[in-house]
Structures are given as C-alpha cells and as structure tokens.
Amino acid sequence: MALYYEQLTCVVANMVSSAKAQSSLNRIQDLLGIAQDRTQNTEPSQMIAAGIPASAIVRLKQATGLSEQQMAQTVGISRRTLSRRIQQANADSNQRLTAAQSDRLYRLARIVARAVEVFGDEVEAKQWLNEPKLTLNGQTPLAAISTEPGVEQVDLMLGRIEHGIFA
C-alpha cells in the first residue's frame, strides 16, 4: 500500500509540475505577444531558433517599463539597432529577431513572468525588478539578467522569496 501511495504521489507531483510549467510558458508567450496556436510549435528552444517576432520588443518594453537604453542593454543590441527593430516591427509584423536576440528577450520575459508568479501582482513584481538589490551588488534584477549568471542569481532570489527565505 505504501508503494502505491508513493507512486500516486509521484504521478500527482509530475502532473502539477507539468501544469505549472505550461502555465509559466503561457505567461511568457503572453508577455511576448506570441499567439498560443496549437498548430504552431511553441517549444521555447524552437521559438528562439526561428526568431521571436520583433514586435515582442515593444510589448515587453511596455510590460517592464524599461527605457530604450535599458531594453537595448538587456537584449544585447545598441539603442540605435533597437529603434530600427521597433520601426521594422511596426512596418512589418513578420519581422523576426535573430536567435541571439530572441534568446535574450525570452530570458527577460521568463524572469518577468516568474516575478509576477512569485509576487502575485504585476505592479509589485515590476517594482521589485526595478529596485537595486544588495545581493546583486546594487544592480536591479533587470540589469543583472543581461548575463546568464545574473539570470541564475535573480531566479535563485525569486525562488527564495517564493519559499519564504529572506532574499
């Protein structure tokens, strides 16, 4: 009986984990303005490789409240290139970012979605993401995620907050 209970517990935990992952992916896609069409492949690695639509920059910039300079730095492009990408997105909705730019933009969307999930409120999450943190040597979480180690550190901080550990 104990073995059955352990197996059932494992199955339920996997189902909850899978549902949570799908919910998180849906939040990220909403932030990026990517349609959740079942006929299209929405696997993150394939979305990134194919290039996220350039219009996602505008949508995510509005959601985060980042300036053009901050957004350009986070995505890893110059401010001038960012402005050009925004103009191209407004002129042609099929314009896509490069895989590297898409990866950085997806990383930003993932952290923003995670912060909203942890804080349960977009305004509170946005405030937390834009406040300097001692743990990040005075950087804001949004500034820190311009590198993969920074993403890991911010993700760890969010996990600690989620579980009630001082961060």
Tens of pLDDT along the chain (167 residues) come to 555 555 545 444 444 444 455 678 888 988 888 865 444 556 888 888 999 988 899 889 888 888 888 889 888 889 999 888 888 888 887 888 899 999 999 999 999 999 999 999 989 999 999 999 999 999 999 989 988 999 999 999 999 999 988 65
Contacts of 69 (CB under 8 A, 6+ apart): 79
Evaluate whether residue 7 is within a structural domain. Answer: no
Evaluate whether residue 102 is within a structural domain. Answer: yes
At 107 the pLDDT is 94
Separation CA 108–CA 113 (nearest Å): 9
Evaluate whether residue 39 is within a structural domain. Answer: yes
Evaluate whether residue 5 is within a structural domain. Answer: no
Separation CA 98–CA 118 (nearest Å): 30
Contact 154, 141 (CB under 8 A): yes
Evaluate whether residue 119 is within a structural domain. Answer: yes
Evaluate whether residue 33 is within a structural domain. Answer: yes
At 8 the pLDDT is 47
The structural domain count of the chain equals: 1
Evaluate whether residue 124 is within a structural domain. Answer: yes
Evaluate whether residue 2 is within a structural domain. Answer: no
Query: pTM to 2 decimals?
Result: 0.79
Range of the domain at 156: 23-162
